[in-house]
Amino acid sequence: MNNLPKLLQLCSQALPVGAYAYSQGLESAIHERHVIDATSAQQWIGGVFEQGISELDLPALLIAYDACDRFDDTTVQALNVYLAASRETQELLLEDVGMGRALDRLLRTLNVDVVGIQQPSFVIQFAMAGRRWDIPALDLAVGFSFSWIENQIAVCTKSIPLGQSEAQKVLSELIEKIDARVTSAQQIALSAGGPLDWQFGQSMPSLAIMSSQHEVLEARMYRS
């Protein structure tokens, strides 16, 4: 429990990393009316979480955490490159790097020892912060998942719009998926091997299309 306040700080929507400024293609999906209500929002967010975040970001988070635990900067650097190569659009890459740089600056301000990375992934910085603050790896993955889901629901609340009660109902349904997906991510991380063996993560064409369309969307609330 001594680590819980630090985990809450790291996962807070008030953390100054700019997460609120991005929709990860969801704004475009709303614009194209693929997401129009609570049901379709739950399906879209749940799909991206299960097929995307929990297949790529969560295993990477756990691998990075382990590497930081062993002071293995080589693996951390290689994983950062792997994540950058796995982002399917420029928008998704710029979001990851932009938030990563913001968290890097914050951690340095808080006197947290971080590995110097020119274009740091947010996932890597999040793992580094968790390890430096002695937050258990699986708890950190749960917090990362909750924060991502909550931010996506916030986009729907502002853009569909979705009522607060409906949003909380969607949140309650989606967080039920977290435990199983973190367990699955742990298995992926354990079996991933070294950098030359990594093959985790998968393509998500619909998300890539929505993200690409969002880059040229004339009127938008969220950054590209």
pLDDT above 70 coverage of the chain, percent: 99
CA 175 to chain centre: 14
Give the whole-angstrom CA distance, residue 160 versus residue 35: 8
Give the whole-angstrom CA distance, residue 39 versus residue 95: 26
What is the rounded average pLDDT of the residues 184-198?
97
**Residues 138-168 pLDDT 10s:** 999 999 999 999 999 999 999 999 999 999 9
From the list 173, 174, 141, 184, the residue with the least C-alpha distance to 55 is 184
Q: Are 158 and 221 in contact (CB under 8 A)?
A: yes
* pTM higher than 0.85: yes
The three-point CA angle 85-188-154 to 5° equals 65
**Residues 61-80 pLDDT 10s:** 999 999 999 999 999 999 99
Query: The tokens of 197 are what?
Result: 């063996």
**Residues 14-58 pLDDT 10s:** 999 999 899 999 999 999 999 999 999 999 999 999 999 999 999
